[in-house]
């Protein structure tokens, strides 16, 4: 099983050197992937604003800038987003940013994308929320065009590019993996149609998840893709939510519980799991030193359980 870490932006409170040190240590411990959470702004609760999930004061480093900051001090670990809210960003610029990151990291990038849920964030960034799914489909195709075509020509409903070049191409070219998050019918179709992998949210109902995995494979086959080539990842525990009762904050303090959970997820057919380091911070690892110790212990315990 492949092990990823969702990087804890909160560790930036110890300074920029702490961010780079933690990235290096995660690589040295032996994790396979270092992922970064994406939100640009978080909404305060005001009248008419519903569905808020995280505190507005939650510290969140900008994902792509932080990826570049950490790429320069690592050499082997995979790098990516989990997930980048693609439709609230300009896709040609994202294509350039990811291509640059792949170039400067030596071909280590994996782009995880989703449509997001926070309408107020779309508003703050000047992007439409209501058609984000349709723009997502189009943006993924545009990314691939920018990464593969010497002369980029793209004519869509929402995005148009006429006779443009984008260099350098990413070392991985069109094979640069795009993983897609979400559980809606449209998201599952999108994974099958466009994705190299599925980034599932926290796995609860086993039968539902098995059905969703089969739905993804069915869509892949319908679009003439190799359903068996798709990969699957989920979190062992979610990031902290605004209205949590605190019951999940001690999950990562019990390595045996974490390992059992990883084994359950492996049995479902997931080849990847991610450890949410912000949750690890909440469980008591409040410094870089404590975080490194906790991650090392969890890594070894999970490897012993699932390989």
Dist. CA 76–CA 196, nearest whole Å: 21
Number of neighbouring beta carbons within 10 Å of residue 258: 22
DSSP sequence for 79-130: EEES-EEGGGS-HHHHHHHHHHHHHHTTS-EEEEEE--S-HHHHHHTT--ST
Mean pLDDT on 118-132: 97
Mean pLDDT on 6-35: 98
Mean pLDDT on 19-30: 98
- For residues 247 and 7, the model is more confident at 7
β-strands 152-155, 160-164 pairing: antiparallel
pLDDT of residue 51: 83
Mean pLDDT on 110-136: 97
- Going along the chain, which residue ranges are E strands? 2-6, 33-36, 78-81, 84-85, 109-114, 152-155, 160-164, 178-181, 197-200, 231-235, 272-276
pLDDT of residue 275: 97
Q: What is the mean pLDDT of the chain?
A: 95
- For residues 53 and 152, the model is more confident at 152
Mean pLDDT on 235-258: 76
Using 50, 70 and 90 to split pLDDT, how confident is the model at 242? low
Dist. CA 289–CA 187, nearest whole Å: 38
- Going along 257-300, which residue ranges are E strands? 272-276
pLDDT of residue 240: 62
- Minimum mean pLDDT range among 92-101, 172-181, 198-207: 198-207
What lies within 8 Å, CB to CB, of 169 at 6+ separation is: 99, 147, 148
What lies within 8 Å, CB to CB, of 66 at 6+ separation is: 7, 9, 19, 36
pLDDT of residue 70: 98
CB 240 within 8 A of CB 283: no
Using 50, 70 and 90 to split pLDDT, how confident is the model at 239? low
Of 44, 72, 75, nearest to 58 (Cα)? 44
Dist. CA 37–CA 81, nearest whole Å: 6
| pLDDT of 248 strictly over 80 | no
pLDDT of residue 244: 58
Of 197, 167, 38, nearest to 102 (Cα)? 167
Mean pLDDT on 266-272: 96
Dist. CA 190–CA 152, nearest whole Å: 23
pLDDT of residue 237: 83
Using 50, 70 and 90 to split pLDDT, how confident is the model at 23? very high
Using 50, 70 and 90 to split pLDDT, how confident is the model at 307? confident
CB 101 within 8 A of CB 65: no
| pLDDT of 218 strictly over 90 | yes
pLDDT of residue 249: 74
| Structure token pair of residue 164 | 């443009």
- Minimum mean pLDDT range among 10-14, 126-130, 247-251, 253-257: 247-251
């Amino acid at each position: 099983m492949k092990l990823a870490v969702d990087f804890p932006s909160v560790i930036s409170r110890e300074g920029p050197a702490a961010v780079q040190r933690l990235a290096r240590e995660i690589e040295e411990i032996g994790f396979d992937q270092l992922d970064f959470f994406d939100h640009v702004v978080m909404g305060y609760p005001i009248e008419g604003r519903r569905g808020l999930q995280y505190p507005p004061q939650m510290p969140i480093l900008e994902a792509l800038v932080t990826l570049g900051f950490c790429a320069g001090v690592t050499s082997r670990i995979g790098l990516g987003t989990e997930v980048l809210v693609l439709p609230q960003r300009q896709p040609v610029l994202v294509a350039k940013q990811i291509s640059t990151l792949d170039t400067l990291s030596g071909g280590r990038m994996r782009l995880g994308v989703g449509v997001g849920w926070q309408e107020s964030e779309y508003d703050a960034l000047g992007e439409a929320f209501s058609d984000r799914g349709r723009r997502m489909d189009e943006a993924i195709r545009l990314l691939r065009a920018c990464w593969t075509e010497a002369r980029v020509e793209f004519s869509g409903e929402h995005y148009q590019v006429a006779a443009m070049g984008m260099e350098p191409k990413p070392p991985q070219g069109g094979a640069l993996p795009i993983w897609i998050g979400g559980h809606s019918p449209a998201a599952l179709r999108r994974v099958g149609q466009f994705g190299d992998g599925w980034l599932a949210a926290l796995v609860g109902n086993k039968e539902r998840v098995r059905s969703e995995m089969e739905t993804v494979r069915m869509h892949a086959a319908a679009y003439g893709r190799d359903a068996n080539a798709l990969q699957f990842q989920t979190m062992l525990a979610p990031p902290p939510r605004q209205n949590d009762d605190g019951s999940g904050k001690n999950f990562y303090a019990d390595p045996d519980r974490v390992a059992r959970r990883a084994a359950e997820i492996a049995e479902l057919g997931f080849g990847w799991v991610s450890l949410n380091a912000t949750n690890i911070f909440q469980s008591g690892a409040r410094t870089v030193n404590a975080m490194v110790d906790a991650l090392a212990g969890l890594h070894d315990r999970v490897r012993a359980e699932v390989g």
